[in-house]
Amino acid sequence: MNVIKITRIEPGRVVSFHIKDSQSPEDEVFRLFNTWAEANGLLDSHRFVPVLGFNNPFGLEGKSHGYEIWCFLDRLGEVDLTGVTIKNFPGGLFAVTTISGLDLIPSFAEQLRNTIEQHPQYKLNYPDDYRHGVDPSPEFEMIYTPKARRADEFVLDYFIPIKEVRQKYVMK
């Protein structure tokens, strides 16, 4: 297993780009994002523009599914928000690992979930009504190599929502 980090992402406003029904929604949604980012000069003025991506709705590779990305507006400066969807990101605590290669996501995500389930201080924090494969995924991907073309060229951080377990202390 890779190194696991625990990180908190603060709440904030995000620009949402969403493709709902496609054989390759990830490619399409990043084209939408890149068009918007280029029009706002973000790709020239920022070394890295952080976005979180997730399946929405979930689907198997090669089958029709959806993908959504959220671009955090904090620290981007003045940008044109005409015609884009703005959402509020609630923030939260996440377990994170870095993955090199898209084909490794399922096995690394499973290992990360198992590690958290066995951890005495943290537990998974999915919405109570979450239905895997039906609802938007609460697990996020932050891709550091958006221009990669082959699956093994992608490097990303994989985020799983967690919460701290309050431990009861017994005084003797």
Residue 169 pLDDT class (50, 70, 90 cuts): low
By C-alpha distance, which of 110, 109, 45 is closest to 75?
45
For 32-83, the pLDDT digits (tens) are: 999 999 999 998 888 888 899 999 988 776 788 999 999 999 888 899 999 9
Provide the pLDDT for residue 148: 81
Provide the pLDDT for residue 75: 82
Distance CA 38, CA 41 (A): 5
The answer to whether 94 touches 159, Cβ cutoff 8 Å, is yes
Provide the pLDDT for residue 167: 67
Residue 171 pLDDT class (50, 70, 90 cuts): low
Residue 172 pLDDT class (50, 70, 90 cuts): low
**63 or 90, greater pLDDT:** 90
Terminal-to-terminal C-alpha distance of the chain: 38
Reduce the DSSP state of residue 35 to 3 states and report it.
helix
For 104-155, the pLDDT digits (tens) are: 999 999 999 999 999 999 999 998 888 776 777 899 999 888 778 888 899 9
For 9-35, the pLDDT digits (tens) are: 999 999 999 999 999 898 899 999 999
Residue 8 pLDDT class (50, 70, 90 cuts): very high
Of 3-7, 54-58, 98-102, give the lowest mean pLDDT range: 54-58
Provide the pLDDT for residue 1: 57
5-164: CATH topology is: Multidrug-efflux Transporter 1 Regulator Bmrr; Chain A (3.20.80)
The answer to whether 154 touches 148, Cβ cutoff 8 Å, is yes
> What does the domain layout of the chain look like in residue ranges?
5-164
